[in-house]
Amino acid sequence: MAGSACSRRESRRRSTSCCAPTGVSELPVRLFVITGLSGSGKSTVARCFEDLGYHCIDNLPLPLLRHLVQEPAAAAPSLDAIVLVTDVRTPGLAEELPRLLDEADPAVVEPVLLFLDSSDDVLVRRYSETRRRHPLTEAGERVIDGIRRERRQLAELRGRASRVLDTTDSTIHELRAAIYNEFASSDAGGLTVNVVSFGFKFGVPSGVDLMFDVRFLPNPYFVAELRDKPGTDTEVQRFLHGHAAFGELVLRLEDLLAYLLPRFRDEKRSYLTVGIGCTGGRHRSVAVSEAVADRLAAGAWQIRLLHRDVERHRTAAPAEP
């Protein structure tokens, strides 16, 4: 787990105090401003930063934001990084935020503007699935009308962004991985966990440190409508999640790895490979690996997920599952 933002600031003080020029005592506070289109994943990104130990503030009024930008050390003493989540519901955001960022003193604060975007079609679908009202949709209008209005209002902010994250084709896991890989501090791990799903009939992957056999789980191969679908498919995952053994296995693996990973990290390991195998590497091992990787990523570990054999059925000769 990443150290807290407070502890990172204390570390920076110690590492710079002996070599900083006279009169320079601290590095500027990093201010991450997360904004973007409604429904694009801002809340997910904010939770990722929280998991990494950052202090997050949601929808701060602009007068307080001005104080935070001008005097971050006074507004949030002992923090070396602050994450602010804001959106179009904040009055004056589109006009005032660029001005505040322009006026920021680089010796005091280092603003990082992250803008989350997604295609109109995907945003409409997300609102349809959640049945929520878009914040800028007026009476009698469609969701797409509110989305287009918001896109126009935030166009300047998007152009000013330090980084634009397009979540159109991203799963929650992929979005988490992108945040962890880019913004996890060096003390957040130093340990990368490779989670590899595989099929025993194709051999055990080389370099596996921990291996788990999940062939005892119910096999979707024997369900005709699931046979040709991979373990990443929603229907396959629903089938497996419907069996108590699946959920219990994932929880037990999570508990075991929560115990083991910090100890491997303390041994200065740079990476650890966890292999999860079933017979063909297409259904059960893939679904378990997805679930385990999600839980580890939520704990701020750096994760690389690989499904080695998920497509082997397309070229391999038929074999007993």
Q: Domains of the chain: which residue ranges?
A: 5-187, 190-314
- Residue-level pLDDT at 34: 93
- Residue-level pLDDT at 216: 96
- Residue-level pLDDT at 282: 92
- 3 state SS for 214-276: CCCCCCHHHCCCCCCCCCCCHHHHHHHHCCHHHHHHHHHHHHHHHHHHHHHHHCCCCEEEEEE
Q: What is the pTM of this model?
A: 0.53
Low-confidence ranges of the chain (pLDDT < 70): 1-27, 73-78, 181, 184-190, 268, 313-321
Residues 167, 174: Cα–Cα separation, whole Å: 9
- Residue 179: helix, strand or coil by DSSP? helix
- Residue-level pLDDT at 15: 33
Q: Exposed e or buried b for every residue in 247-277, given b needs 16+ CB within 10 A?
A: eebbeebbeebeeebeebbeeeeeebbbbbb
- Residue-level pLDDT at 26: 54
- Residue-level pLDDT at 95: 83
Torsion sign across C-alpha atoms 216, 218, 224, 226: negative
CATH number for 5-187 (one of 3.40.50.300, 3.10.105.10, 1.10.10.10, 3.40.50.11540): it is 3.40.50.300
